[in-house]
Structure 1
């Protein structure tokens, strides 16, 4: 299996474009290997931005590398608990994520069965391919929002446009469709482009 996804809304029967969202550094603050629910802190502009994207008909799909599982820092259940907390916080703003696709692998990890080379770890496009297979996404109208060049490369490999949020932590991908400093700016670029 290349990804672990779980779906909160049953919307699979209609093809739609999607916004593929990295998790740490895009939706929530990146403290490094976030795995405790008390560390799940949404950026202030995320809920309203997601609502605007949902209103335009986009699916909201999280695609996240969680190599802390392979490295033995935390169990896969901790990842799911964090996603439940993200959903709880977003539901307070009347918006939900459609599904989460997780890559728990890392080839240099020390925890089997996760310590393998896989096809889902970004920048490889496996998570996006899995999401497309599950949802029938309209890829040429979809976007990925990430904070790392690997997120943008992943989108490019899957044939979708990437917007990088520069939070000052990672190198920029100059080939990104957009380079911004906030989630709200990323949403504005998407809404202007569609």
Structure 2
């Protein structure tokens, strides 16, 4: 069984920018790459799970998102970090257009993307985590049977008030590697 860290993308791996979909606008969060390298060295693998309501709203296409995610994955590979898969939810229950306006199991806080990854990659849920900057990320992890960790990047500082005492909290991905060294 695999030890996996499920990662939200925007505000966790990269700097939060509204409806990010162009590589030239992509910037890694401070310590994101270093943190992923350290987590890899602790034996973790990675799956990205990201809500992308910009697709539902018609701001960009699924292909735009796939291109950006592929470039992110290639950049991380240059640092020795492999992403097993990038799952995304293109739906929004209220603001979606056409078939993207939907209530679904994949949109966090629902655990659909995580459950799919858990099954496909034979994930050891007892020793795996969900990491994100929003309560919906943490709740999705909990619903999937994972321990969740809030990062204070992105919307994390705002989210901290809502979740303090319920979830583990770390400054960034590098700080998570330090936290998980202590848990082991």
TM-score scaled to structure 1, two decimals?
Answer: 0.87
Match of 1:89 in 2: 75
The residue matched to 2:54 in structure 1 has which SS?
A: coil
Give the conservation status (yes or no) of the 8 Å contact 2:130–2:137: yes
For 1:125-136, list aligned pairs within 5 A: 125-136=111-122
Match of 1:9 in 2: none
The residue matched to 2:86 in structure 1 has which SS?
A: strand
Q: Is residue 160 of structure 1 aligned with residue 146 of structure 2?
A: yes
Q: Deviations over 1:22-80 (max 9, x none)?
A: 00000000111110111111123112211222222222000110111111111001111
The residue matched to 1:108 in structure 2 has which SS?
A: coil
Give the conservation status (yes or no) of the 8 Å contact 1:70–1:104: yes
Give the conservation status (yes or no) of the 8 Å contact 1:143–1:163: yes
The residue matched to 2:6 in structure 1 has which SS?
A: strand
Higher helix share: 2
Between the aligned partners of 2:111 and 2:182, the Cα distance in structure 1 is: 25
CA 1:123–1:33: 2 relative to 1, 3 Å = same
Q: How many residues align?
A: 180
Report runs of 4+ in structure 1 exceeding 6 Å deviation.
none
Give the conservation status (yes or no) of the 8 Å contact 2:16–2:154: no
Q: Tell me, which stretches of 5 or more residues in structure 2 are unaligned?
A: none
Q: Is 67-76 or 110-119 further displaced after alignment?
A: 110-119
Question: Which of 100, 103, 108 is the matching residue for 1:122?
Answer: 108
For 1:13-28, list aligned pairs within 5 A: 15-28=1-14
The residue matched to 1:93 in structure 2 has which SS?
A: coil
CA 1:113–1:175: 2 relative to 1, 3 Å = farther
Between the aligned partners of 1:37 and 1:162, the Cα distance in structure 2 is: 28
TM superposition shift of 1:127: 0.8
Match of 1:183 in 2: 173
